[in-house]
Chain A
Amino acid sequence: MTVEIPKEKWSGQVREVTIGATAEDGGTRTQTLTIGGETTLPFLHFEGSIPHRPALAIEIRDRKPDDWSPILLETWGEAMESPAAWAKAAEEAGADLIYLVLSLTTADGEENTPENARRVVREVLDATGLPLAVAGPGQADVDNELIVPVAEEAEGERILLGICEEGNYRTIVAAALANNHLVQSKTPMDVNLSKQLVILISDMGIPLERIVMDPTTGALGYGIEYGYSVMERLRLAALQGDSMTQQPMLVDPGAEAWKVKESKVGEGVPESWGDWQNRALEWEALTASSLVQSGADLLVLRHPDTLKRVKAMIDALLATTA
């Protein structure tokens, strides 16, 4: 008996966005990263085209963070002492992109400075040929103060500048426009707000091919289902032809998953929770792999083994549906 597989015919397509520039395009990256371009839902190859696999980024910091899980500190070890070494280690771990987050303060507790931000970005660009994303610490005034010089330092590299939010996007978008970079448009989990911020950012004159949409997610057990639904709805709208929702989606399961008790804490938890290290890795991997299924095009992770696990899942799904 032959089974007819029902196929949905979508009229829309996710925009293709390329992060990074090689020498040919005025940058120094040895490879670039293109995401998006889908004409169907994740892994439904029989229905439409999926020109680019979901990409995996590793988050690094401009200095060793004070509040990361000991599991992460142990894994990255010495590399965390220098952003350049950390970026190299992330590249070796298989990352498609380095996601560099600048800290609010330096290691000795002083305020982070534009000079320091420039220096770190230069070191990372010199240490790895991977495309780069750079985000500020998440305080509007400091973000703007640090991201503008970063954008200048990395001129021509087509880096992804984070993080544009509804209350603070103009300065970052202007810096991206002036130096030919891309921006990350982040909103609280809400379809209307996600679309609205893309509109506001594109109103400033930046092409849609340079906007990556970050709809925000929660970790497994901490609101992931809500984030999942928002992403699913945005993606369905994109495929139905709703133009301002057609940006590729970035989410940060690494930061979310490593924030929760289940991965952060090894002591004083029920024994039935099992091995801490394995639980923590599964938490990040399951959060990330669920988000791949909801249409994420670029996922930011923290642990190199998580990256391997998620990559293996993507490989397997691509193989079975090719």
Chain B
Amino acid sequence: MLKIGENIHIIAPSVKVALKERDGGFFVDLARKQKEAGADVIDLNIGPRKKDGAEVVEWLVDCMQEAVAGMTISFDTTNLTAIETGLKLWGSNAIVNSTSAEEERLEQVPPVAAKYDAKLIALCLEKSGIPVGADARIGIAMEKLIPRAEEVGIPMENLLVDPLILTVSGTQEYVPEAIETVRMLKMVMDPAPMTVVGLSNVSNQVPNKMRPLLDRVYLTMLMGAGLDSAILNPLDKKLMGVIQGIETRDDSTPVKALYLKLFDRVAGMEQLQPEDVDMSDPLQAEIWKTVQVLLNQVIYTDSYLQF
């Protein structure tokens, strides 16, 4: 699975300060750390950056040349000029993050990705907002995102469709829908488009100490449904361990075996069963509870792990 490191993100206060002060060392260090931790791609989220987007990207690309030359870079902004600046400097080993199905974005963004032979992340999002059901999201992908990519000459292996992940805290009923959207995206056509998610959205507004567990379990389920890539925190060692465990089919510990079982169950279009889990092991029990919450079978609360 393609792991896109999310840590250079303008929402993070340290990133904001470092960018303002043009602290190149900070970005070199953060990019290297993510690469060493196993990231395949470094995402550069600079926010909308309407005024000086191009200048900021140019400066960041310099930092990345020093830090991680040759890696794939994801240019993450709504400022298309800034993205194009990045693509010109970095070359085709890049991702355009992102277009949506909104008319103007869909008109303007895909040709830029095609021109530079970059990958394109395309969100299942229209002007009217995020559709909640899997069918509606597939509809957007099939009727808008995929045809437009084909039209401008982006091959399916370069199109990363993002079903959009919503938080389990408040929009719980849509959390299982995204899993099914990934599954359907991989089945509706041949060749199928690639799929990508912004993983940590699932645990937005959840107390910090509980977020990594939700992220790990949800990613396992999404991988089971066929997910190709995720924007995630590569510095989360347990998360990276789970991905590696699944990819190498490592069942050497009870917890690793359980993640593998969960992956296999979802891949087989089944649900994790109580007999798959040793409930007397607290680590396994909390995975079981988290699966129930992510499938919307038990209502989420900040203390769901207690019961």
Chain A contact residues, CB within 8 Å of chain B: 191-193, 195-196, 199-200, 233-234, 237, 240, 242-245
Q: In the complex, what residue of chain A is closest to B303 when comparing beta carbons?
A: A199
Q: Enumerate chain A residues within 8 angstroms of B210, measured Cβ to Cβ.
A: none
Contact string, B210-241, partner A, CB cutoff 8 A, digits 1/0?
00000000000000000000000000000000
Q: Enumerate chain B residues within 8 angstroms of A195, measured Cβ to Cβ.
A: 299, 301
Tell me whether A237 and B299 are in contact (CB under 8 A).
yes
| Known contacts A192-B169, A192-B170; A199/B299 CB under 8 A | no
| Known contacts A192-B169, A192-B170; A199/B297 CB under 8 A | no
Q: Enumerate chain B residues within 8 angstroms of A243, measured Cβ to Cβ.
A: 307
When A and B form their complex, which 3 residue pairs have the shortest distance between CB atoms, in order from nearest?
A: A196-B301, A195-B301, A242-B298
Q: In the complex, what residue of chain A is closest to B169 when comparing beta carbons?
A: A192
| Known contacts A196-B302, A196-B303, A199-B307; A240/B169 CB under 8 A | no
Instruction: Tell me, in angstroms, the Cα distance from A195 to B303 when the chains sit together.
Output: 10
Flag whether B128 is at the interface (Cβ < 8 A): no
Contact of A244 among B169, B170, B301 (CB under 8 A): B301
Instruction: Tell me, in angstroms, the Cα distance from A193 to B298 when the chains sit together.
Output: 13
Flag whether B306 is at the interface (Cβ < 8 A): yes
Contact string, B267-307, partner A, CB cutoff 8 A, digits 1/0?
00000000000000000000000000000011111110011
Instruction: Tell me, in angstroms, the Cα distance from A237 to B297 when the chains sit together.
Output: 7
Q: In the complex, what residue of chain B is closest to A236 when comparing beta carbons?
A: B299
Q: Smallest Cβ distance from A7 to chain B, in angstroms?
A: 20
Instruction: Tell me, in angstroms, the Cα distance from A244 to B298 when the chains sit together.
Output: 9
Provide 11 A-B residue pairs closer than 8 Å at the C-beta atoms, listed in order of the A residue.
Answer: A191-B299, A192-B299, A192-B300, A192-B301, A193-B301, A195-B301, A199-B307, A200-B303, A234-B299, A242-B299, A244-B301
Q: Enumerate chain A residues within 8 angstroms of B306, measured Cβ to Cβ.
A: 199
Instruction: Tell me, in angstroms, the Cα distance from A80 to B69 when the chains sit together.
Output: 82
Q: In the complex, what residue of chain A is closest to B306 when comparing beta carbons?
A: A199
Instruction: Tell me, in angstroms, the Cα distance from A243 to B303 when the chains sit together.
Output: 13
Q: Smallest Cβ distance from A123 to chain B, in angstroms?
A: 40
Instruction: Tell me, in angstroms, the Cα distance from A245 to B297 when the chains sit together.
Output: 12
Instruction: Tell me, in angstroms, the Cα distance from A154 to B98 when the chains sit together.
Output: 64
Instruction: Tell me, in angstroms, the Cα distance from A244 to B307 when the chains sit together.
Output: 8
Instruction: Tell me, in angstroms, the Cα distance from A20 to B301 when the chains sit together.
Output: 31
| Known contacts A192-B169, A192-B170; A240/B301 CB under 8 A | no
Q: Enumerate chain A residues within 8 angstroms of B172, measured Cβ to Cβ.
A: 192
Tell me whether A240 and B297 are in contact (CB under 8 A).
yes
Contact string, B250-265, partner A, CB cutoff 8 A, digits 1/0?
0000000000000000
Tell me whether A245 and B299 are in contact (CB under 8 A).
yes
Instruction: Tell me, in angstroms, the Cα distance from A237 to B170 when the chains sit together.
Output: 15
Quick one: which of B169, B172, B299 has the most chain A CB within 10 A? B299
Instruction: Tell me, in angstroms, the Cα distance from A64 to B38 when the chains sit together.
Output: 71
Q: Enumerate chain B residues within 8 angstroms of A196, measured Cβ to Cβ.
A: 301-303
Q: Enumerate chain A residues within 8 angstroms of B169, measured Cβ to Cβ.
A: 192
Q: Smallest Cβ distance from A190 to chain B, in angstroms?
A: 8
Instruction: Tell me, in angstroms, the Cα distance from A200 to B170 when the chains sit together.
Output: 19
Q: Smallest Cβ distance from A81 to chain B, in angstroms?
A: 45
